[in-house]
Amino acid sequence: MRTHRIFIGLVVLCCFCLPHLIATKPFEVVVDQSGHGHFTKIQKAIDSVPNNNLQWFFIKVKPGIYREKIIIPYDKPYIVIVGGGKRVTRVEWDDHYSPEESPTFSTFADYTVVKRITFVNSYNFPSEGKINKNPRKPAVAALIGGDKSAFYSVGFAGIQDTLWDLDGRHYFHKCTIQGAVDFIFGSGQSIYQSCVIQVLGGLLEPGVAGYITAQGRINPYDANGFVFINCLVHGTGTAFLGRPWRGYSRVIFYNTNMTNVVVPEGWNAWNYVGHEYQLTYVEHGCFGSGSNTSRRVKWVKNLSGSVVQSLADLNFINRDRWVQDLPVAV
């Protein structure tokens, strides 16, 4: 009788424990164009994630060029997409009718994590070393709209409006971002750490300078802004570090290597001439042939060291330590 009670107790205990174990075990699927995975398309793998998902769902993508558009809707959080390497795993599409409709990759969900993959909008982007002759238009490679999302060793390739850092807190680590005009834009609250910013200004009309950033902070109380830490800015042609998409635009380059691709003026007021005092554009501790600030526009901000340090710190986006809690190691 005692043995029988012990057995019943173990069964009851397992009945309570099993759902918890199942709920916390991450799911994993494989995308492989050759048919040796669970899916041959990345979007099909995303579609398989339950709505309002509350556990990490891993999608491993085998090397290859995937011709598809990808959308992660707002009700599919906790998705991790891991490619085989940003040079060998590429997603390409060529929409260009509007910035909203054009992204090759879009995520509106919180807790999106991507690693070792490249997203390309090929409408204007050169292919196999050949110059693309399509007329230049906004053609977005990636739109990042959810909160607490991170990208590790990810490539973003386009010419105009490459990376739409739309909204939310985002972390980019060792990413490569290519473009010529406003190719990092939006109202995100984001840190770009150890990233390569490659200007493709040589693809623009002769004598025309490009623009790296177009940040969209709307008022002085908004927390958002772009912070570049320990990055490399290089490429062909020339480019301004940024121009304001909205009236209180905020961009900081910290301890960044700038080549002579950066124009001596550094920044452009665009549609906000006469309101430059509202803009927060900062360079601190930068070096390289393009970092000389002697000919910069006079309205560049000269913030105190303590203020700069508070902005050029992971806590700018990470006060609740969500970056450390992500399941993908740097």
CA distances from 46 to 33, 40, 53, 80, 169 (A): 15, 12, 11, 10, 22
Examine the pLDDT at 157 and tell me if it is beyond 60. Answer: yes
Lowest mean pLDDT segment, chosen from 5-19, 22-36, 255-269: 5-19
Under 8 Å between Cβ of 305 and 282: no
* Confidence bin at 2 (pLDDT 50/70/90): very low
182, 313, 320, 325: which one is catalytic?
A: 182
Of 168, 42, 182, the C-alpha closest to 99 is 182
Question: What pLDDT, on a 0 to 100 scale, did the predictor assign at position 7?
Answer: 38
The tens digit of pLDDT for each residue in 254-269 reads: 999 999 999 999 999 9
Residue 182 falls in the annotated catalytic set: yes
Examine the pLDDT at 16 and tell me if it is beyond 80. Answer: no
* Confidence bin at 132 (pLDDT 50/70/90): confident
Examine the pLDDT at 244 and tell me if it is beyond 60. Answer: yes
Question: What pLDDT, on a 0 to 100 scale, did the predictor assign at position 305?
Answer: 86
Under 8 Å between Cβ of 260 and 291: no
The CA-based angle 65-71-119, given to 5 degrees, is 35
| Per-state percent for the chain, helix, strand, coil, to nearest 5 | 15, 35, 50
DSSP state of 31: E
Residues 6+ apart with CB under 8 A from 22: none
The tens digit of pLDDT for each residue in 60-70 reads: 999 999 999 99
Question: What pLDDT, on a 0 to 100 scale, did the predictor assign at position 25?
Answer: 63
- The pair of structure tokens assigned to 95 is 């929409």
Question: What pLDDT, on a 0 to 100 scale, did the predictor assign at position 10?
Answer: 40
Element (H, E) at 218: none
Domains of the chain: 86-318 (2.160.20.10)
Question: What pLDDT, on a 0 to 100 scale, did the predictor assign at position 19?
Answer: 37
Question: What pLDDT, on a 0 to 100 scale, did the predictor assign at position 14?
Answer: 40
Question: What pLDDT, on a 0 to 100 scale, did the predictor assign at position 304?
Answer: 86
Element (H, E) at 90: strand 89-93
Under 8 Å between Cβ of 311 and 252: yes
* Confidence bin at 26 (pLDDT 50/70/90): confident
